[in-house]
A and B are shown apart, each in its own frame.
Chain A
Amino acid sequence: MTEPFVTGSRSPAKNPIAAHPITSAIIFVLVAGAICCSLIVPIYASTTPKVGDFPFFYFFLLAYMPVAAAALFVAMLLQRRLERGDERNEVE
């Protein structure tokens, strides 16, 4: 196991949100955005514009899925960077 791990004996962590406000805000926007663009149905509830043969409503639902997945992937990478950063600070 080369990965460092957090044990129960570690002192309670500093609040990571306070330590990295901008990265945390980006993570929040990515995750909340992924939810909201699907939740706010009026954005995409129309037949036009047609994309290829697909009415917009159906095109949007299918095309948005990879976009949401990518947003989550970026959020995950950012979170990992935050966690790694915290551990490095502690070692120092």
Chain B
Amino acid sequence: MSNVNATVFTIVVVLFLLVTLIGFAASRWRRADNMLQLTEWGLGGRGFGTFISWFLLGGDTYTAYTFIAVPALVYASGSIGFYAVSYTIMAFPIAFMILPRLWSVARVHNYITQADFIRGRYGSRGLSLAMAFTGILALMPYIALQLVGIQAVLTVMGVGTSSTNTYLKDLPLFVAFVVLAIYTYVSGLRAPAAISFVKDTLIYVFVLLAVFYIPTRLGGWSHIFGLAEAHFTSIDPATKKPFGTFIPTAKSIGSTQFDFATLALGSALALFVYPHTITGALASKRRSVVKRNMSLLPAYSILLGLIALFGYMALADPVTAANVKKADNTQLAVPYLFQHMFPSWFTGIAFAGIIIGAMVPAAIMAIGAANLFTRNIFKEYFKPDASPKLETRVSQWVSLVVKFGALLFAVELPHTFSINLQLLGGVWILQIFPMLVGGLYTRWFHRWALLAGWFAGMIYGTIAAYNVSDPTASHWASSTDIVFGHSIYIGISAFIINAVIAIVLTLILKAFKVPEGADETLPHQYTADPPDTPAQAPAGVGAAAD
């Protein structure tokens, strides 16, 4: 640890300790009489108002990996990286149509996870299991990527021992993660909710300052954009193709407008069916809180747009570009940019912001995965008579297991593998969209048709993603495939296959009058706004009225 800047290191450690204290203290925040219920540990007592929900959902959606990876993609490939901006614009109108309905029905029936809702809506254990399985599968690599984000910052800080043993080398990462795992275990969703205040304050401050300050050092926006345009239109000698694109092209193959749009749309559809975002939304106090936040959360998207521009700033700064090239890792673009542009105290704050920015979503993701496992696998298949106390305990332990699983993932496997899995995670999670959103709006779909569609989408998506190659990688080269001569995001093509199968099979199954599951929800429950959750979920009401 010879080349560590003492100021940077001290600031990061101090802020980390502050956050740890908050994480443990959060267990006493809004304390309920009986804490041993899953709605307390796993949903923070369903009591968060507009203000806290805004921080929680914002902290949840914009992860450390976003701060590192979006500018890294912009740095490496140009305009396609801005799909992230387009997708966050679309995500909120889409969520505006989904989340309030899900919140209402979940509140009436005391559903804790989205798979609880599937179980109640379709009366199908299989479909509910598919939902829980996909959710957990998609979250694991996502948590691992938060660690990759932390590692990027630690690498640039020069922290880490020189030992060849992977575990010793990543000791700081280990320590940070163990601490995170313990306070999540103790405080549940209250911990990330409380910490997200600190995280977002840090991130807002450093992003806004950086976005106004850095261009003045680099010769202004005109110069930054000019360099980016020149770079991405020049030819890469290795591949004989341009380095990237400055504006999405109107052609049919490559970094096209269609590719840009499908990637953005797919990611937008996926964002609010991920278990961690749904966990955050279900923790809201009232239906109006969810709705109001859909128009307030885009403030974070503006931030993301500015963060994406850091990619071009890094490109325009020769020192950063040289450092990134030497390390051969574009993920380091933003950390290097900050290190070069700012005095060390400010770099320390920015780095701490990114590290803490990884911990908030990692905690919520682990809680979301743990809730899915407890409610929809453990209770459903192993211990149907589990008491609320046992459910809470199981969830707490599973959140630990999930985190250590993700840690192994990040440390043991090459990073490219985690990134590929994350791309796949997006493709996978999209496949639960038809059953979830179909269920929120209509009773028309047949449960087996949805299951078949889900299965086909998962298989097609995985194989298609595996088969994508480029000059530098024989498999998993990107999440874009060429279908009928057009570049398209695999998540969307798999989603279309999924939906078509679900529709066709529903028609067939209905024609043969194959029995449908019992629906315990009623139409008006999707717009209900009860201020309190019933202690016991109301008994199944049986046949649907719609």
> Chain A interface (Cβ within 8 Å of chain B)?
1, 3, 5-8, 10-13, 31-32, 34-35, 38-42, 45-47, 52-55, 57-58, 61-62, 64-66, 68-73, 75-76, 79-80, 83
Contact = CB atoms under 8 A, between A and B. Distances in A.
A13 B229 CA distance: 56
Given A57-B79, A61-B305, A8 B525 contact: yes
A47 B246 contact: yes
B247 interface: yes
B173 interface: no
Contact of A39 (B90, B92, B247, B527): B90
B528 A75 contact: no
Looking at chain B's contact residues, the main secondary structure is helix
Interface string B237-250: 00000000011111
Contact of A7 (B229, B249, B299, B530): B530
B524 A41 contact: no
Contacts of B258: 41
25 contacts: A6-B528, A7-B528, A8-B530, A10-B524, A12-B545, A13-B524, A32-B93, A35-B94, A39-B90, A42-B257, A45-B247, A47-B247, A53-B225, A55-B229, A57-B248, A58-B82, A62-B306, A65-B298, A65-B301, A68-B92, A69-B298, A71-B93, A73-B295, A76-B96, A83-B527
Looking at chain A's contact residues, the main secondary structure is helix
B92 A72 contact: yes
Interface in B216-249: 220-222, 225, 229, 246-249
Contacts of A32: 93
Contacts of B538: 8
Contacts of B530: 5-8
Contacts of B97: 31
A20 B437 CA distance: 24
Interface residues of B, number: 53
A35 B79 CA distance: 19
A6 B524 contact: yes
A3 B286 CA distance: 11
Given A31-B97, A72-B96, A57 B247 contact: yes
B70 interface: no
Contacts of B294: 72, 76
A71 B220 CA distance: 32
Contact of A38 (B220, B222, B264, B295): B264
